[in-house]
Amino acid sequence: MKVGFVSLGCSKNLVDTEKTIKLFKDHDFDIVPNPDEADIIVINTCGFIEAAKEEAINTILEMAEYKDRNCKYIIVMGCLVQRYKSELEKTLPEVDLFIKYDEYDLIWDKINRLINIDKAVEEKRNIINFDELQDRVITTGENYAYLKIADGCSNRCTFCAIPNIRGPFKSRKMESIIEEAKKLADEGYKEIILIAQDTTKYGIDLYGKPKLTELLKKLCKIDKIKWIRFLYAYPETIDNNLIKVVKKKDKICKYFDIPIQHISNTVLKRMNRQSNEESIKELITKIRKEIPNAIIRTTVMVGFPGETEEDFNKLYNFIKEAKFDKLGAFSYSKEEGTPAARLKEQIHPKTKKSRYNKIMELQKEISNENLNKYIGKELEVMIEEKTTDGKYYICRSYMDVPEIDGLIYLKNSKNLKSGDFVKCTIKSSANEYDLMGEIV
């Protein structure tokens, strides 16, 4: 039988999809990219905010149309199922199997019972340790791979449903992470991107204290890895030791992804964030002092319940002053089961949209200004692919997380292949987020 996959949401979800693909391959299923060819379609859903839920439902309905052609089974897994399994079973009869996140250890047992692959195992439970599965089918190309070091979250931000969906923060054993990283390196992946809901709290549940710094040092000893990144680092748990190891180790990209969410202490307190205006500003100053070429990315939220015009202006002016290298913004989404959903001072959707647009317009100007600083400078980049006309190589530097940040375009003047590292001189900006350069 042939199986097609759709993975929605974050990179942590993508890792779960890649593990599931490997389970199917190990049981002699053919993996196909086109749903027209698939006997089975598996959809891994996101259920974090309203927009993600809508996308997931629309995707399920779209894939269900293939049951009128050749598709025999639709399987839906992931965060949306974890939140709304009983409701989904009632409203989406087209789906043959729903698998909640906390049922992943039984994922193959459930699939086997649906499809009746092996009748001999029907009477026993086929249980696996899904979190610790290392073998997966990497879907991000040949150059980089995500490496999940923990799952779940214990931070309890009032707007966030993740703890209800994914459960409390749960780290993987360091030995298992190192072993998987070595496998990825042996398979040719040059960039490893560490991911978790909060990477800076890695190890606190297993070892009694954060162990990200120690993990990074050990990963740096793996010869074949060229770049190491860690994403989603909460500001209150970035300490001096972590900053020092990023500064000292050449393999670690000088890149900090720090979701501050807001700068108004009033809003941060209502969000139940553990940082405040003073500590956030101090951290940014410290990173830039210790690592002048560090890239700082952040994420902010507008329209949180009770956010006044004064609160928003404070955030706007702070972004204008801080000039983050990269910034993403999103409007508050009222999520059932979260404390913030019960707050009375909900912001009108038009106000949220207006505030979001203002932030993104400001960041567009800041990004353009920041990029101009690199004109004339030399950067090392990794070749990803060629443009369709073959005139340029599409590349990334240490400044750019794949699929999120900008790109660097180099004139095709040498015979290079994907995964090669070259030095280039930046000649101009291509737009507000991308750069143009020439190979040195």
The tens digit of pLDDT for each residue in 259-290 reads 999 999 999 999 999 999 999 999 999 999 99
249-264 pLDDT, tens digit per residue, is 999 999 999 999 999 9
Quick one: 247 exposed, middle or buried, by C-beta within 10 A (0-12, 13-18, 19+)? middle
Taking residues 399-407, what's their average pLDDT?
95
Most confident of 66-75, 351-360, 406-415: 351-360
**Radius of gyration of the chain, Cα coordinates, nearest whole angstrom:** 23
Residue keyed to tokens 């040498």: 414
- Output phi, psi for 295, to 5 deg: -95, 130
Confidence grade of residue 386 (pLDDT, cut at 50, 70, 90): very high
Average pLDDT taken over every residue of the chain: 94
18-38 pLDDT, tens digit per residue, is 999 999 999 999 999 999 999
Instruction: Parse the chain into domains and list their residue ranges.
Output: 2-131, 134-372, 378-439
Quick one: 344 exposed, middle or buried, by C-beta within 10 A (0-12, 13-18, 19+)? exposed
pLDDT of residue 310: 98
- Name the CATH superfamily housing domain 134-372: tm_1862 like domain (3.80.30.20)
138-155 pLDDT, tens digit per residue, is 999 999 999 999 999 999
* DSSP 3-state of 9: coil
Question: Is domain 2-131 in CATH 3.40.50.970, yes or no?
Answer: no
pTM equals 0.94
Sheet holding 295-302, edge to edge: 255-257, 295-302, 326-331
Tokens in use for 202? 């890695």
pLDDT of residue 118: 53
Residue 120 reports pLDDT greater than 60: no
User: In one letter, which amino acid is 51?
Assistant: A
Distance CA 312, CA 300 (A): 11
Residue 88 reports pLDDT greater than 70: yes
What beta strand segments (E) does 180-259 contain? 191-195, 227-230, 255-257
End-to-end CA distance of the chain: 50
Residue 121 reports pLDDT greater than 70: no
34-55 pLDDT, tens digit per residue, is 999 999 999 999 988 888 999 9
Q: Which numeric CATH code is attached to 378-439?
A: 2.40.50.140
